[in-house]
Amino acid sequence: MNRCRGRSWYLLTMATANFADFYVRRQLFAPADAQQTLRNIAASGLLVRLGIGSDLITITASVILAVALYLILKPINRSVALVALFWWLLECAIAAVVTLNSSAALFLLNGKDSLLAVNTDHLETLAQLFVNADRAGNRISSVLFFNRSRTTTAGAETEMTMQSARPKARPGHEVTVPLS
């Protein structure tokens, strides 16, 4: 992946993640009022769908970036590359489950006609459960993002230390030191 495409994927990920997190969720979630949150979700189906779409784009682009990062780091330090890939893919998997929770909450609140056998209070309770799972999943995903960032930074610092420890060659007498 060339640098321009890599930057484009990263910018796409940042734009869609920020839209979903800082615009959509701020419009929908009332921090201290669960009933207001449910009313916001029920009334703003299009906004919820845009948030879900943004999350799916973010997850897809993140998987592409994770694989690209692995391919870049693999020749330098395979174990660090695998750890970074693991953390990033774990974060993406949790984000996908969180996105499913948002979809389920929207379905429960807007699909009441197809769920006539279930009491309305039970539907709202289930929807609130999915909203709470969405919030918890986003917190877990944030912790994994922090760990992924630290792992990748540690790998870069290890490589810089290894490069500075390599013997200096005289011009015309290059020395190659294999990295394991």
Neighbour tally for 5: CB within 10 Å: 11
Q: What is the pLDDT of residues 42-68, one digit of tens each?
A: 888 899 899 999 999 999 999 999 999
Is the alpha carbon torsion for 129, 135, 140, 141 positive or negative? positive
Q: Per-residue pLDDT tens for 101-122?
A: 777 777 777 765 555 555 666 6
The type of residue at 78 is R
For residues 83 and 89, give the distance between their C-alpha atoms in angstroms, rounded to a whole number: 10
Cα Rg, the chain, nearest whole Å? 22
Tell me if the pTM is above 0.95: no
Q: Give the other-Cβ count within 10 Å of 42's Cβ.
A: 17
Do residues 138 and 163 make contact, with C-beta atoms less than 8 angstroms apart? no
Helix (H, G, I), strand (E, B) or coil at 116: coil
Q: Percentage of residues in the chain with pLDDT exceeding 90?
A: 22
Question: Average pLDDT in the 111-137 region?
Answer: 64
Least confident interval from 8-22, 70-84, 139-153: 139-153
Compute the average pLDDT of residues 64-91.
91
pLDDT band for position 134 (50/70/90)?
A: low
Given a contact cutoff of 8 angstroms between Cβ atoms, the answer to whether 107 and 122 are in contact is no
* Range in 9-23, 84-98, 109-123, 127-141 the model is least confident about: 109-123
Check whether 158 has a pLDDT greater than 60. no
Half-sphere exposure of 104 (CA within 13 A, CB side): 17
Whether the pLDDT of residue 154 is over 90: the answer is: no
Q: What stretches of 74-119 show up as alpha helix (H) in DSSP?
A: 78-110
> What's residue 108's pLDDT?
72
- Buried b / exposed e over 20-38, threshold 16 CB at 10 Å, is bbeebbeebbeeeebeebb
CA distance 103 to 34: 17
